Structure 1
């Protein structure tokens, strides 16, 4: 059985985005409307040279919603805008990502799968991909990385999380 690009990418992305949503829910419940506590948690880093929790959630949006936009346009550059600093703004980003994943059709991805896609950072750095390779070898691992890093930061802060919190809703046989 051949697997479509859509099937190889979108269900996994939705699973990870669902996991990210649940992590964000736990973070928000933990802070219980205490904005100082919220700011402190969202600025927590796993290591000094890594970006904070809020950036990790934003990057889940980047490597799903923006990756799908790049699949259509043939161009991807990292989003350098500041990361959101509230749970509400981060939730809105994750909601946008879920909506984008649900909106893209199987045939739409198949139609662009072999198209060229350029990843660039200004004029200094460029990587050339086929759309399918960009989604499978760049965006998917990045989405896993940022979701796992958000999970790890929350574990570091003492949240009661287990592997199932990261795995999210699996696609089980009925």
Structure 2
């Protein structure tokens, strides 16, 4: 049986979102503050943008395939720079992903989804938008969330980023 679009995207996003939630919980418990300006480099978008992008390129990407258009943020407003807002946004994205069915995802194949930013328009077949644009962006921004906290001295390892793998039992 070939791998479905759903299987190629949704479970991995949910796994990494779980890792991001774990990192946020550890950072909050450690008392790491200054979230509004937290970045890895001066010319980088702040932590709130990274959280928004994780949600936007997961659940927001699915919503974009439904409408045929993705705008930066993926339909998620910029969260307040606090743990409660970050956690709520990621939990909302995870809950939205949990409702997506394999049948719906397979129905997107062959459709059109465009990334639109101002006058810039990047047209994709929906499956290519998801797998060659949103998935790499999702992974990038999730790793930046991890990296920002690691850079602030939070003792994290790869398993914190990975979340809970889907092992055969």
| Common topology (TM > 0.5) | yes
CA distance in 1, matches of 2:69, 2:90: 22
Cα pair distance change 1:29/1:42, threshold 3 Å:
farther
CA distance in 2, matches of 1:82, 1:12: 23
CA distance in 1, matches of 2:4, 2:124: 18
CA contact (8 A) 1:58 1:84 kept: no
Number of residue pairs matched by the alignment: 167
Partner residue, 1:21? 21
1:91-110 → structure 2 map (5 Å cutoff): 91-110=87-106
2:165 is aligned with 1:133: no
CA contact (8 A) 1:77 1:120 kept: yes
Deviation by residue 1:109-151 (Cα, 9 ceiling, x = unmatched): 10112101111112x2110011111110111111110111111
1:36-115 → structure 2 map (5 Å cutoff): 38=33, 40-79=34-73, 81-115=77-111
Structure with higher helix content: 1
Query: How does the TM-score come out when normalised to structure 1?
Result: 0.91
CA contact (8 A) 2:52 2:78 kept: no
Distance apart, 1:26 and its partner CA: 1.0
3-state DSSP of counterpart to 2:58: helix
- For structure 1, list consecutive stretches of 5 or more residues without a partner in the other structure: 32-36
CA distance in 2, matches of 1:141, 1:101: 17
Deviation by residue 1:7-55 (Cα, 9 ceiling, x = unmatched): 0000110111001110111111122xxxxx63x1342110111112222
Deviation by residue 1:62-105 (Cα, 9 ceiling, x = unmatched): 11121111011111111384442111111111011101110010
- For structure 2, list consecutive stretches of 5 or more residues without a partner in the other structure: none
**What CA RMSD, in Å, does the superposition of the two structures yield over aligned residues?**
1.4
**Pick aligned residue for 2:143 from 125, 142, 148:** 148
CA distance in 2, matches of 1:126, 1:15: 30
Partner residue, 2:116? 120
3-state DSSP of counterpart to 1:46: coil
Distance apart, 1:155 and its partner CA: 0.9
